[in-house]
Amino acid sequence: MENIGIRPVRPAELAAVATLRWEWLVENGSADLGEREDFVRHFVTWAEENANSHRCLVLVRDDRVIGMAWLAVVQRVPTPRAPRRASGDLQCVYVVPEARDGGLGGRLIQAVLDAAHRLGLERVTVHSSPRAIPAYARGGFQESPRLLQAQVTRA
């Protein structure tokens, strides 16, 4: 029986998470990525600097990180009845190819939603690839006619 768990990332695992992000970019056809080691260093620094707003959960098999998901928390403008409000954005969900299609991605999505609930977030949004839409729908995500977006710049 495999030892699989989901938990917050540990500081020593940020390089492994950065490598997963790199693999996601390569897998999705990104070109001109530069040097992987430079990206990993930058990513680790970014994750440390943004730990208050971006929470990372990792999917771990034995002691190896095989998946990740990020919850970006955004403070919202207060109202008289809700002086402290926040919403979340589920970002960068990734499971290594050899561990896919067994429900682990769904477990990771649910773990992020559970964390959002504990934080009292009003809602969680996600920008999905076409392949992942069914997984998010199974997790409770729905299309919303009121949630709009404008592409301001292309990174």
User: Would strands 54-61 and 64-76 be described as parallel, antiparallel, or unpaired?
Assistant: antiparallel
pLDDT digits (tens, 9 = 90+) for 118-142: 999 999 999 998 889 999 999 999 9
Helices (H), the chain: 14-27, 36-49, 104-119, 133-138
CB 139 within 8 Å of CB 107: no
Q: What is the pLDDT of residue 155?
A: 62
Using one digit for the tens of pLDDT, what is the confidence trace for 32-60? 899 999 999 999 999 999 999 999 999 99
Predicted structure pTM score: 0.92
**Strands 85-95 and 124-126, how do they pair?**
parallel
123 in Cβ contact with 87 (< 8 Å): yes
Distance, CA of 42 to CA of 123 (rounded, Å): 30
- What is the identity of the amino acid at 19? T
What is the SS3 assignment for 80? coil
